């Protein structure tokens, strides 16, 4: 295969990272992880004198992973490196910059997935009570937190919500998740009440003439623009500290809390899968392990002969 003139491995990596940033809107941290892993492979390729992308074969991928093992890199880090390379070569193949993906037949031994961490119901209650909802910012922040915990949305889905996506009467919202798949997610009474109050009260006061005054974005910044993921991360951290929560906090931790609390109370796993937007129920099954761990804790704590 003849690659475009001047397309070195480093340039191809940069094109891939630009694709992740613009098209897939990945976070700065995730982009940094991809960049770190692909830069390491670029150094390996240079040392092996691999002249172009087309010269990379499965054997080179295996040699690279073996080198990572020799450098005492953990199995999890090796798996992350392989995922980065798979995504990279898949992108190149899709863009017709290479004929084959040399990572397709390369695999790593399976290893245990760590159980996701989550907030207790009491901690969620403290978090939701932290914003001062008598103020416009507090009403907005509280509504975002209520909506996230009520639905288990990804943070990217939360900040992309539009006014037409909320059905107050039926009590659900519409979101578009990974792969452009649309799904309906129920809303509890508390979330519906918070959303209605915010839309009718605080939200109009965030609108600014000439600065997106006609926007249909649901959650707005003080400048009248659509809330960003980074902006919400800061909001969440501020209120978690105010609530006295010492655990490391993130929007995804609220998503884990949403799913865990449902499963602990007997929710059907298929229903939880649909609400989370998981393509594979195997991803959702992690919460059954959490539920079993919860049952073990309850048993050990309360059974007289535990």
CATH of the domain at 192: 1.10.443.10
Q: Give bridge partners of residue 175 from the DSSP assignment.
A: 183
| pLDDT tens-place string over residues 172-216 | 999 998 778 899 999 999 999 999 999 999 999 999 877 666 789
14 and 81 belong to one structural domain? yes
Provide CB contacts within 8 A for 63, sequence distance 6+: 44, 48
Q: What residues are annotated to the active site?
A: 154, 178, 252, 255, 278, 287
Tens of pLDDT, residue by residue over 38-82, are 998 888 888 888 767 777 888 888 888 888 877 777 777 788 888
Kindly state whether residue 302 falls inside one of the protein's structural domains.
no
The model's pLDDT over 2-23, given as tens digits with 9 standing for 90+, comes to 344 446 778 888 888 988 888 8
Using an 8 Å Cβ cutoff, are 93 and 56 in contact? no
Q: Tell me what pLDDT residue 186 has.
A: 93
Write the Ramachandran bin of 179: left for phi over 0, alpha for psi from -120 to 50, otherwise beta.
left
pLDDT at residue 190 in the model: 95
Helix orientation angle between 286-302 and 269-276, rounded to the nearest 10 degrees: 130
- What are the angstrom distances between the C-alpha of 10 and each of 41, 51, 64, 217, 300? 10, 12, 17, 38, 55
Residue 243 vs residue 269, higher pLDDT: 243
209 inside domain: yes
Supply the pLDDT for residue 145: 98
Mean pLDDT confidence for 122-138: 97
Same domain, 244 and 142: yes
pTM for this entry: 0.63
Residues 141, 220 contacting (CB under 8 angstroms): no
Q: Is residue 89 part of a domain?
A: yes
Token pair listed for 100 = 């084959």
Domain residues for the domain of 76 are: 9-94
Task: Kindly report the CATH number assigned to the domain that includes residue 36.
Answer: 1.10.150
Instruction: For residue 172, give the H/E element and its range.
Output: strand 172-176
């Amino acid at each position: 295969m003849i690659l475009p003139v001047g397309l070195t491995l480093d340039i191809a990596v940069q094109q891939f990272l630009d694709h992740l940033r613009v098209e897939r809107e990945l976070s700065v941290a995730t982009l940094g992880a991809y960049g770190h892993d692909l830069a390491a492979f670029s150094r390996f390729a240079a040392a092996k004198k691999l002249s172009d992308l087309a010269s990379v074969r499965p054997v080179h991928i295996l040699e690279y992973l073996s080198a990572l093992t020799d450098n005492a890199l953990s199995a999890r880090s090796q798996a992350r490196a392989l995922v980065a390379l798979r995504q990279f070569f898949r992108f190149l193949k899709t863009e017709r910059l290479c004929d084959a993906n040399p990572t397709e037949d390369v695999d790593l031994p399976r290893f245990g997935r760590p159980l996701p961490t989550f907030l207790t119901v009491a901690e969620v209650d403290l978090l939701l009570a932290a914003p001062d909802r008598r103020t416009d910012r507090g009403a907005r922040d509280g509504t975002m937190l209520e909506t996230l915990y009520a639905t288990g949305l990804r943070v990217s889905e939360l900040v992309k919500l539009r006014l037409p996506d909320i059905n107050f009467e039926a009590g659900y919202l519409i979101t578009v998740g990974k792969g452009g798949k649309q799904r309906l997610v129920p809303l509890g009474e508390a979330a519906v009440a918070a959303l209605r109050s915010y839309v009718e009260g605080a939200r109009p006061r965030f609108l600014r003439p000439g600065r997106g005054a006609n926007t249909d974005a649901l959650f707005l910044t003080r400048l009248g623009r659509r809330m960003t993921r980074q902006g919400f991360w800061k909001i969440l951290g501020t209120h978690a500290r105010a609530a006295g929560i010492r655990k490391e906090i993130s929007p995804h931790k609220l998503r884990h809390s949403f799913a865990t609390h449902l499963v602990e109370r007997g929710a059907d796993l298929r229903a939880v899968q649909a609400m989370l937007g998981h393509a594979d129920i195997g991803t959702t099954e992690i919460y059954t392990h959490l539920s079993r761990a919860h049952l073990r804790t309850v048993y050990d704590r309360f059974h007289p002969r535990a």
